[in-house]
Amino acid sequence: MNKEEILAKAEVELKLRGCSELTVRNYLWFINRFLSETDKKIEELEEEDVKAYLARLVDTKARATLSLAASSLRFFFSQVLKKQITVNLPKKEKKLPEVLTKEEVDRIIKAAETEKSELMIRMLYYTGLRVSELVNLKREDIDLEKGICLVKGKGNKERQVFLPKKLKEKLKVFFEKHPDYVYVFSRDKPLTPRNVQKILKRIAKKLEIKKKVTPHKLRHSFATHLLESGVNIRTIQALLGHENLQTTQIYTKVTDELYKKAMEKIEELERV
């Protein structure tokens, strides 16, 4: 089996497991790079080859990149080559995520240059969406009457998030102006996450905010501000669609009442 055939097989395995387009693209990229840097036949590849490849990345790549490369190759060996490997990376130092203050978020929203930019920032902060979820959100996923949004997250897992009052009103006006949009913020195909990242970077520079302002930082800020307001941490995990939600649900079930209380707190966050 040649490289093109083995990559095609890896893509099939990834898609059958419900992996997102981004995950499929990232995994295939690392698998392709790994295969391109070896002189061995595919069937002769073993654990030591993976370790040697990852060792070459240690000094030049960020910890998150290294972790993604390792995950990609673990998947490739176990699910495609049907070989088990053990690759242990140095444990990442745990740091509390840096968040924006409520005042900083308000300034960022007000500084948005366009109606669309403002709405995207509001959606990121008031719903806690990942940027990939935001750009892939379709009009049909939003129920303005009920004030809810159905989000397809990592591994195609669906969850429900709330739309506070002002956000609902602004979305309604925006939809009326763009009746031909299939996606919430674009017509025929989703925006790229990079589009959103550039908008936030430009605003942060204009406002002279020293913190690195990213879509994910808005997500962290949403969660932190809710937690500070007294919202149950299990509810926040459900709203964010964290990977370990299934584990935590064994111990704590998120009730409708908890969701209702969370909605009230989200409304309180909507200051501008």
- Annotation marks residue 225 as catalytic: no
Cα-based distances in Å from 242 to 64, 114, 130, 137, 226: 17, 31, 11, 18, 15
Structure-token pair, residue 192: 């790229």
Structural Rg of the chain based on CA atoms: 21
State the chain's maximal CA–CA distance in angstroms.
60
d(CA 214, CA 203): 11
- Annotation marks residue 251 as catalytic: yes
Q: Which of 91, 94, 187, 251 is catalytic?
A: 251
Q: Which of 116, 220, 242, 261 is catalytic?
A: 242
- Annotation marks residue 130 as catalytic: yes
Q: Which of 130, 152, 168, 217 is catalytic?
A: 130
- Annotation marks residue 220 as catalytic: no
- Annotation marks residue 154 as catalytic: yes
Contact 121, 198 (CB under 8 A): no
Q: Which of 122, 152, 219, 225 is catalytic?
A: 219
Q: Which of 154, 166, 170, 202 is catalytic?
A: 154
Q: Find the helix or strand (DSSP H, E) in which 143 lies.
A: strand 142-143
3-state class of 158 per DSSP? Answer: strand
Contact 127, 136 (CB under 8 A): no
Question: Going by C-beta distance under 8 Å and a sequence separation of 6 or more, which residues neighbour residue 58?
Answer: 66
- Annotation marks residue 219 as catalytic: yes
Q: Which of 61, 216, 220, 261 is catalytic?
A: 216
Active-site annotation, residues: 130, 154, 216, 219, 242, 251
